[in-house]
Amino acid sequence: MGFKRWARALRDPGDVPRTALLVGVPLVICLIVWACWPRPYYTGTDSIRTRDFVQQVRADRTLCVRGLQLPAQTGLVEFEIVTEGPGPPAMKLALRSPAGTTIARSRLPDAARAGARAKVAFAIPRRPDTPDSVPVSACVTPQRTIRFGGTLSVAGVVPTVDGRPVGQERIAVWFRPPAGSERSLLAQIPTVFHRASLFRPAWVGAWTYYVLLGLVLPLAFGLALYLLNRAQTLSWRRLGAGVFAVALAITLSWALLTPPFQAPDEQDHFAYVQQLAENGKAASQVPGTPPWSSSLVVALQSTWALAANEQADGRPPWLARDERAWAIKDSRDPSKKDGGGATTAATHGPVYYGAMTLAYRAAGDSSIWSELTAMRIMSGLLSALTVLFVLLAGREIAPSKPLFAVGAALLVALNPMFTFIGASVNNDVGVNAAAALLLFLIMLAARRDLTLPLALAIGGTLGVLPVIKGTSYALYVVAAIALLGLLLKVRSRKVLAGVATVVLALVLVQIGWGSVAAQFGRTTFTTPGGGAPITGNSLWSTAGPSLSYLWQIFLPSLGFMYDHYPLHDWPAYTIYIVRGWASFGWYAIVFPPVVYAVILAGIGCTLLSAAVYVRRRFDWLKENWVIVATLVAMPIVVVAAVERAFATNGQRALIAEMGRYLFPAVGALGLLAVGAYWAWGERWAARITTGVVVSAMVLTFASQLLTLRGFYT
């Protein structure tokens, strides 16, 4: 496109393709520049991150970290330490071979700058490009007492102090190229793809990531644009198939890109499925039984998954020798049946995990990586179903405006955090799908009629939801608002009978679950304690503190309130912007702040559009107030329930809530957001929707590149 045509397009954005070009081209250029920008990188690590400062070493004593692999091209060996007083003291490093021969020495002078915590890097002669690694021990002798960063209770070779083994601590070590060396992500792509292909099913190789990022995702984005452009002419069946395919392609790429067990609590959810598939029992809630099977323990130890998580500088193992070491241990046939103890997943009902057993069994008697990947793909199917239900709900709200439904569904499918979680083993995925189904059924009843089959479906969905996860009880409030609204609006015996049928179906499902719950080691109520989700006394006694806590999530503390967040200016930003849009791994891999500032600005503009819509289209809102009340209530109720569950009477040093807890309302949020754009008229609504969807495409692609960089460079 020449400059004149570009300038003309700026003045008159026009159709979907033109808007996509206007928005997409500058963003893609920014993405290319970002991918080509040289940055510092690691040549390797021992896959330990600093969870705490776990080992004290006194002056002139020597700490040796044994069992390390010194990668090729390394020129710096890095530790994290904490001292009392001014900066790091003078230290000496010796790298020794397994035979005890010193192969490199380095020294750091006493640091002049102040600071208790620091990373210190010892310069060594640059290692040759081959072999890919050599075994060494790294021995450090400080001239003042310091503590080394690392973690506890991880299998491996224990460190020594003056030749004597010490505890079960593991010390974090990073390897870097010589000082000043930088590389772009683009330059490291072959290496990154090779590293990403480790600990995967046998059919996955480096080629897989070229296909995913170079073909599958671009085709998915092209299909999304095609659906937007042809929304008015394509049948609803084709639109549904299209948005489902887009969502599935994105979740498939996440399933193969995220390292094993590097999604929140994935090892615990996997253990639940394995216990159900192997022993026919749900995970136990009684402490004492090992939480993970021997097979899973070997996999976790081999990938160092729980030692490299939760910090941005954590890295999984990168070397093919690490995968071969796992294969040797796994060839001894560790048991898959001896786990099933209490974990973070143990309180939940078996519905989601039962669905995952189908994938587990489909993987056959193959590797644990095939089982995990099959389960991730099954989760991806449920996530794609969530997107489909959003489209169907949008069709009921505005059947003559398919672009509205398509735009809302695609906005959900292109939320990077939603698809990242959707491609992991986590029962939140089941909750999200069931919540979206509930929303669709309610929209169907509000737009058409509360028939007997529909009432049974709504009641059945409400009955199943808390069996998936106890937090779903909050959605009963949303359903109550919708059903009460239908009663007030229609005021007929037929609707009253429909509401009674909903309640009856809910009760019957819960009675049915209660009759078999004991066989799964559960109670009828799937709350952590097994009791009713809320009682009158607890509701009123905790109302004041909970409201104060909720207020401070979004707004500054008022003078009469106890300050729950003295160390955080705006918790909602961290929870619902950073963690709700793009915070990968165990919430450690994030974009620079400017990206979240743009997302926040986009949300602000959407809220402004919503306010304009209320003013300009009040008649439509008044006529369809049941639909609007349900859509607005869903995120409000979900947020209120989340914050009530996390409310505390004390101070919060760390923000505990996660953005994914809002995803049961993701369909309502997508529909509200895209609907708000109609405040500016149908033509501009199409342009804005296209611009937002294209921006989300670039953000999704950038998120996957960011995750690859965060784990493999």
Kindly report, residue by residue over 403-420, the tens digit of the pLDDT.
999 999 999 999 999 999
Looking up tokens 């669905």 gives 355
pLDDT at residue 433 tops 60: yes
The backbone torsions φ and ψ at residue 637, rounded to the nearest 5 degrees and listed phi first, read -65, -40
pLDDT tens digits along 461-501: 999 999 999 999 999 999 999 999 999 998 889 999 999 99
- 61 within 8 A of 161, measured Cβ to Cβ: yes
pLDDT per residue as tens digits for the range 656-704: 999 999 999 999 999 999 999 999 999 999 999 999 999 999 999 999 9
**What's the mean pLDDT in 211-240?**
97
Tens of pLDDT, residue by residue over 285-299, are 877 789 999 999 999
Residue type, 437: L
pLDDT at residue 61 tops 70? yes
pLDDT digits (tens, 9 = 90+) for 312-361: 999 999 999 999 999 999 999 999 999 888 898 988 999 999 999 999 99
- Count CB atoms within 10 A of the CB of residue 472: 25
Give the integer Cα–Cα distance in Å for 343 and 285: 8
CA pair distance 103, 97, nearest whole angstrom: 7
Task: Decide: 617 and 387 in contact? Cβ < 8 Å.
Answer: no
- Tell me what pLDDT residue 521 has: 80
Confidence label for 210 from pLDDT (cuts 50, 70 and 90): very high
Q: How high is the pLDDT of residue 9?
A: 47
Residue 528 has a pLDDT of 63
Residue-wise pLDDT for 542-567, tens only, equals 677 788 999 999 999 888 888 999 88
- The model carries a pTM of 0.93
If you ran DSSP here, which 8-state letter would residue 100 be given? S
To the nearest whole number, what is the mean pLDDT of the chain? Answer: 92
Q: CA dist 52 to 48, 337, 598, Å?
A: 11, 33, 34
pLDDT at 520: 84
Is the distance from CB of 676 to CB of 609 less than 8 angstroms? yes
Q: Outline which parts of the chain fall under CATH 2.60.120.
A: 44-176
The answer, yes or no, to whether residue 533 has pLDDT greater than 80, is: no
Domain 44-176: which topology?
Jelly Rolls (2.60.120)
Give the separation between CA 371 and CA 379, rounded to whole angstroms.
12
For residue 6, the model assigns a pLDDT of 47
Counting residues of the chain whose pLDDT is more than 90, the rounded percentage is 81
> What tens digit of pLDDT does each residue of 623-655 get?
999 999 999 999 999 999 999 989 888 888 889
Q: Which amino acid is at 441?
A: L
Tokens of 247: 């969502």
Q: Are 208 and 699 in contact (CB under 8 A)?
A: no
| Residue 157 near residue 81, CB atoms below 8 Å | no
Among residues 405, 431, 402, which one has the least CA distance to residue 418?
431
User: CA–CA separation, 117 vs 114, rounded Å?
Assistant: 9
Give residue-wise pLDDT tens across range 86-112: 777 899 999 999 999 999 999 998 864
Pairwise CA distance, residues 42 & 300, whole Å: 22
**Are 305 and 362 a contacting pair, CB within 8 Å?**
no
DSSP secondary-structure letter at 202?
Answer: T
Of 76, 182, 73, 176, whose CA–CA distance to 133 is shortest? 73
**Each residue of 169-200: pLDDT tens digit?**
899 999 999 999 999 999 999 999 999 999 99
Tokens 């491996």 identify what position? Answer: 156
**pLDDT at 619 (0 to 100):** 92
Integer CA distances (angstroms), 43 to 77, 149, 306, in order = 10, 19, 21
pLDDT above 80 for 534: no
Q: Name the DSSP letter for residue 315.
A: -
Predicted confidence at residue 10, as pLDDT, reads 47
Task: For residue 1, name the pLDDT band (cuts at 50, 70, 90).
Answer: very low
Q: What is the pLDDT of residue 568?
A: 87
Q: What are phi and psi of 672, to 5 degrees?
A: -65, -40
pLDDT at residue 5 tops 60: no
Res 311: pLDDT: 92
Q: How far is residue 210's CA from residue 190's CA, in Å, rounded to a whole number? A: 9
pLDDT for res 297: 95
CB 286 within 8 A of CB 346: no
CA separation (Å) from 317 to 98, 203, 477? 20, 19, 46
Per-residue DSSP letters for 454-478?
HHHHHHHHHHHHHHH-GGGGGHHHH
Pairing verdict, β 91-96 and 160-161: unpaired
Q: Is 29 exposed, middle or buried (0-12, 13-18, 19+ CB in 10 A)?
A: exposed
Question: Which of the 8 DSSP states describes residue 212?
Answer: I
- Whether 455 shows a pLDDT value over 50: the answer reads yes
What pLDDT does 540 receive?
A: 53
Question: Does residue 538 carry a pLDDT above 70?
Answer: no
What per-residue confidence (pLDDT) applies to 365?
A: 80
Which segments of 557-592 does DSSP mark as H helices, in order? 571-572, 579-581
